[in-house]
Amino acid sequence: MIKRAQEHQPTQERIVFKGRLLPTLPSEYREPSLDNELITPHGAAPANPFKPEVHDQQRSIAQGTLLLYESPPQDMPAEFVEHVVTADFIINTERGKLDNFNAYAEFLKHNEVLDPSLAEPIDRFESAQAPIAEIVNILLNTRMESAEFGGLAHPYGYRMQYLEPLRKETTEAIESSGGVVYPTISPYRSIVIQPVVESFDNGTKYGGERIIGFIVKYKRDYGHIPIPGNDTEVIRVVERQVAAYRVDEASGFDQSVLRAMHDLRDEFPKYINWGIRTPDDPQNKKIAEYRLRVTGCSGFIEKAVQTDSLEDFVVPLETKIYGFRDKLPQVQKPDLVARAAIEQALSDSLAELPPSESDAHLFDY
């Protein structure tokens, strides 16, 4: 049994992140790791959430986290808290649990013969009790395709002080395995912007739509780890963050962007529904991205993301770090036979050329 380092319930004076005083935790909330020495505040979700002993533990953690999502530290529009922030947590808690389990179940299907030394680490991995170094070791020594390293729910900035310990443990695990950690100034990529809307009856065929917020998801490449004896793949490590964006005027969100989006919807109600999730097919995805761009929405939000804006309209929700097997670009081996044939043909063609006047003296004896 591995006992994890304990974190104490911080006092108000200690809750500082990037020079900003973070909100005080609701008095009813208690950090789960204080009552369970086998977990940390930033631990990964369980690979097997359906184990009986894991189910009760995770239910208690989810209930405490939901309390934070439902308890904004300052006045915020109630519809934003309920339909943007809390709804995203409820939906993605179940989705994330299933995604983790499906990835693990896919690994179990292959009945891979494992080194006996991995039995206990995998049991801890199933139960959300494995340190990140153990999770990295499992990925390196099995055919498992992906795994979550750690995750932190930090709605409104609650518990944000645990983000640096998550990154520190990840960095140490990567470097101790011979990997490389990229500079933290690396730009975010794969920024996904999803408007959240309220639909209403305006007496028209397609009805009206009002944007009440955004869910914004963005990733940055954290590092990579070489796989011993494998020159075609690496473990790619990615950090993914999720934030909710307020749109009320008091938050400082650009109201001209909001008006442009509403105006475009009013002009083309048959074709535009901001509440529909960005489609996966490339053509429709390009169309959705174009609409966000022409209204100024993507430019405004992407700037806030890339500059790590601390404006009131940015409401941090969660951070996850995960690793996955990624194939390295194939370097095409030179075709030596073809190269020799080309060189011979070139040599033959040069030999057939008459010497130039400037080279004539080379043939005088």
Give the integer Cα–Cα distance in Å for 342 and 338. 6
- Enumerate residues 6+ apart whose C-beta is below 8 A from 218: 188, 189, 190, 191, 192, 240, 241, 305
pLDDT in tens, 289-348: 999 999 999 999 999 999 999 899 999 999 999 999 999 876 555 667 766 777 777 777
* Angle formed by the axes of helices 255-267 and 282-294, nearest 10°: 130
Residue 25 pLDDT: 93
Residue 6: CB atoms within 10 A of its CB come to 12
161-166-168-174 Cα dihedral, nearest 10 degrees: -170
Question: Which of 1-5, 35-39, 57-61, 296-300 comes out lowest in average pLDDT?
Answer: 1-5
Question: Which of 10-14, 114-118, 164-168, 205-209 comes out lowest in average pLDDT?
Answer: 10-14
pLDDT mean over 102-131? 91
Question: Which of 72-76, 101-105, 184-188, 292-296 comes out lowest in average pLDDT?
Answer: 184-188
CB 38 within 8 A of CB 129: yes
* Angle formed by the axes of helices 255-267 and 297-306, nearest 10°: 150
Give φ, ψ of 181 to 5 degrees: -105, 130
Give φ, ψ of 187 to 5 degrees: -70, 150
Question: Which of 149-158, 180-189, 221-230 comes out lowest in average pLDDT?
Answer: 180-189
Q: Is the pTM of this model over 0.95?
A: no
Give the integer Cα–Cα distance in Å for 150 and 42. 6
- Given a cut of 50, whether residue 8 has pLDDT beyond it is no
pLDDT in tens, 135-179: 999 999 999 999 999 999 999 999 999 999 999 999 999 999 999
Give the integer Cα–Cα distance in Å for 170 and 322. 10
Q: Write out the two tokens for 312.
A: 């009131």
- Three-state secondary-structure class, residue 321: strand
DSSP assignment string, 10-39: --GGG-EETTEEPPPPPTT---GGGS-TT-
pLDDT mean over 111-122? 90
Q: Write out the two tokens for 7.
A: 């974190």
> Tokens 């030596």, residue?
336
pLDDT mean over 233-247? 97
Q: Write out the two tokens for 163.
A: 């983000």
Residue 354 pLDDT: 63
